[in-house]
Amino acid sequence: MTAVYVYVMDTMADWEASHVMAELNSKRFFKKDAREVELMTVSHTKTPVRSMGGLTILPDRTADEAAAVKDSLLILPGSDQWNRPEHLKILKKAGEFLSIGAGVAAICGATAALAGLGLLDDRPHTSNGRGFLNMFCPDYKGEKYYIDQPAVRDGNLITAGSTGGLLMAKLILEYLDVFSTDTLKFWYAYFSTGDPQAFFSMMQSVQ
């Protein structure tokens, strides 16, 4: 069983992780021999949080209950509250995930939070454009590893800018290996272009 934890918090940009959450929860396009995946929301407490889009979310678990084991993944959506002290625990846990080879996916403001802990200083990554991480993280030293793409994967680390949610979802699905190669190709083609032929090809690929 692969545990996938999505950190939820007030003002989180709910749409940034919505594509991948929908697919991991519904499993509608999973290949027949896909691993078992359990999707859970976590936060600093179990009290409800309210997203930027106005959704009220009741976390399944606390950050302490997110097990840092190799066969797990932590997803960190964007928010304007990443600098609050109550979220430091999950950021430190993200460091634990990375150190043992578990997966971490961070988008938008969450990339700045990782950069603030030095977790992006020595490996390829992206964010909301060159200069964004320097603006919010004076101690950031990873400029030479910055890649100007909507989303980037470096082994067990996936990072994305605010417009990279769909590509981040593709990279996560690829990392977890829950879609067939063809299904993932057509899934991304359809949702990124709206091409109806890609939709029919996607549906045929999962039959």
Tokens 């989303």 belong to residue: 151
* Residues composing the chain: 207
d(CA 28, CA 22): 9
Classified as helix, coil or strand, 25 is helix
d(CA 123, CA 152): 11
Residues annotated as catalytic (active site), given as ranges: 108
d(CA 37, CA 16): 20
d(CA 30, CA 23): 8
